[in-house]
Structures are given as C-alpha cells and as structure tokens.
Amino acid sequence: MQFKFSAISLSHKTAPVQIRELIALDDQSIHSILIKLKEFFSLQDALILSTCNRTEVYYSHELDLSSEIIKLIGLEKGIPEVTDYLEYFELYKNDQDSVSHLFRVAVGLEAQVVGDIQIANQVKRAYQTSVDLDMAGPFLHRLMHTVFFTNKRVVQETAFRDGAASLSYATIELMESLTSNTYQPRILLIGLGEIGEDVAKNMVYLPDAKVKISNRTQEKAEIIAAELGFEVVPFDQLDQAMNEADVIVSSIHRNDPFITKELISRFKIQSYKLLIDLSVPRSIETTVEEVPGVILYNVDNIRSKASEALDKRLASIPDVEKLISESIDEFYNWKKEMMVSPTINKLKQSLEQIRLEEMSRFLKNASEDEVAIIDKITKSMMQKILKVPVIQLKNACKRDEAEEMIEIISDLFDLDKIKSDK
C-alpha cells in the first residue's frame, strides 16, 4: 500500500483562543508526541507545528491516523475527553491538500496577519526538530526544502512581505526606524492587554534595546518579563522609568489621558522622547508634542501604515499563489520520479546479475587484461540497454502513467523476484 501525506490542523480559523491555548504544545510535548508516533506507528516523516495561532501535525503513512494523533495530543496535555474537541480540527487526508496547506501556512497566506514573517522561522524550527529526532525521510526533506526555496522567491519576487501589516509589527518598525541612531535605546511599555502583549513579544526584533514593561496587574508583567528577558517596573513607580526612557509605548485603557503635557514637561529630555499611543480612547495628551524634543504617534498613524502594507500584501496574493503552484508542480514531478526509482534499481540489479553470471561463465580462462576489456564493454552495453526503459519510465511519470509502465517493465524483466535496495 502506498503512503499518503496527511495533516491535522487546529487554527485561529477553526478554534477560539481558549481552545488553541488548551491544545498548544510546548517543545517537550512535541518531542514526546513525535517519539510516540515513531514507536507506535513506525513513522519516518512527521512534523509538528505549534504556535499561538495553530497546532498542526503533518505525517506520511498508509493509514489515516488523525484520530490516533488527536488522542496522543490529549494524552500529552492531560485532556481525557480530547475527542470532544474534534470539531475544531481540520483534516487533510490526501497529498495534494496537505502539501498545499503546508505551503500556504509556511509563506503566511493562512496567518492571522497575512504574510506574517514569524511563521517561516517557526516552520523551520519544527522541521529541525523532526530532523533531530530522525523523523524526516527523503519525502519530507525534499518537501521542506522546496517550501523554504519558495519562501525566498516570495520575498524576492513579490511585495507580499513588504512593510509591517499588523499594528504591533508597525509599532516595532516605527521604533526601529526612529531609534536607529541611538545606542541601546531605552523602551518602556505600559499596559499588557492584547495589543500591549503582542508588542512586547515582537520586541525580540529589537535585540539592542533595553526594554522595561509595566502593567496594573504586576503578576502578568512578571510572567511576560521572565519569558522575554525584560525588566518589570511597578505600575505605581512609573515616573522615574518614563523620565529615563527614550521611547514610551502606552497601551492602557482609561477614560482620561494617563500621560499629560504637564507630566512630560517635568522630564529632562536630552535629545528626543518618542511617545507611541496605542490606546483607544487615547491615553496620551496630544499637546505633549508642544514639549521640545517630544515626538508623538497615535494608533491611527500606525494603523494607516499597517493598512497600506496589508493592502499591498493582499494585492500580491495571486503572485504568491502562482509561485506556490509552480513549486508544488516541481515537487510532484520529483515525487513521481521517486515512485519509479525502485523499479529502475531492480532493473539495474537484474541486468547486472545477468552480466556477472555470463562473465563468470565465459571468462574462466581469460587473462586480467581480457577480463577488464570485457567488463568495460558489457557495462557500456548494459547502460545503453537501461537507457530506453529508464527514459520511458520518467516520461510515463510526466503523463501520470507510471504505474502502468512499472507493471509492463516488471513483467517484461520479471522484476518481482528481486528485492529493491533500501
């Protein structure tokens, strides 16, 4: 029976955040499930991708293992009734759908923010885990390298990754551009709601910055700070931190401004102070810009930039899908040729066995020089005999007639009695 490449997916398109959090897998859980898949089902190709927006398992096997894999996830996560969550999983049960979905995920077409640059690195890490556990065979190796090459083409040949298409990315991009000439810019993030937390997590793209965070609920700030390596400022001790900061990002919810012109006027501003207001309603008085050295951006300014970038990305989707289609066609041409490789190897073995038997039979009394000449001649003859059936097999692949040609050549040369090399 021929193996199939299948996938199971739980994502932001199929499940709310509380379900995604419940099913999400950390590195240790991914390792554990991959090892179980190898031991229980002898899988040679398996890849697990788990992010804040999706948990997916890709695998090659003769059978549909989706139910068993979901149960393994439930076992690993301590969810005895994991089958109650089956409705949130999307199942891809054939090669074409699974391969296409992996390509779309890896380039960012299926991301919550279209063109998300993080997903490509997350897919690479997932693949490296499979490689480390010896769970990436020739099929998955070739598939993943085709995916990575396609990603490069998307970056080089389309506008799909141009600009920051989410509010948090646009905020990071703004900070990066305005602090480019500042050595280790000091950044203070106030408020860790949904947007604030997202900005905090994306500050990893500002590796030289010194980041401090603050939140009304200090426990949440401490959890995020521990994960990202940031410093926590108690919410009731912000004045000093705001005075020292080069950049203040405010993402807190209140009815009246939290940062006022009067407050900022008391600070000693050496060269500039960048204020970014991500709150609605606004938490920074617009008059702060009247203070020398103060630069203010609000959520509308940043959203405008993000929307412009998103429009460009959306307009580029047909170009991206065209590149994906080309790559999938190329991958399937390789896959079809892989299908005929065992037959080609068997044919080579059969002809080589005949050649060696006949040489042994007729060259018992020949000299070393004579044996060498005959060996060279017969090898050349064998290569010429092989050429036509090999070409016919490869052409049959392109016509989707490989199975019929394999059967004809196998019958013609009685290849079923020969075991193919592994």
Name the active-site residue from 22, 52, 223, 390: 52
397 is catalytic: no
Helix (H), strand (E), coil (C) string for the chain? CCCEEEEEEEECCCCCHHHHHHHCCCHHHHHHHHHHHHHHHCCCCEEEEECCCEEEEEEEECCCCHHHHHHHHHHHHCCCCHHHHHHHCEEECCHHHHHHHHHHHHHCCCCCCCCCCHHHHHHHHHHHHHHHCCCCCHHHHHHHHHHHHHHHHHHHHCCCCCCCCCHHHHHHHHHHHHCCCCCCCEEEEECCCHHHHHHHHHHHHCCCCEEEEECCCHHHHHHHHHHHCCEECCHHHHHHHHHHCCEEEECCCCCCCCECHHHHHCCCCCCCEEEEECCCCCCECHHHHHCCCEEEEEHHHHHHHHHHHHHHHHHHHHHHHHHHHHHHHHHHHHHHHHHHHHHHHHHHHHHHHHHHHHHHHHCCCCCHHHHHHHHHHHHHHHHHHHHHHHHHHHHHHHCCCHHHHHHHHHHHHCHHHCCCCC
Could you give the residue numbers annotated as active site? 52
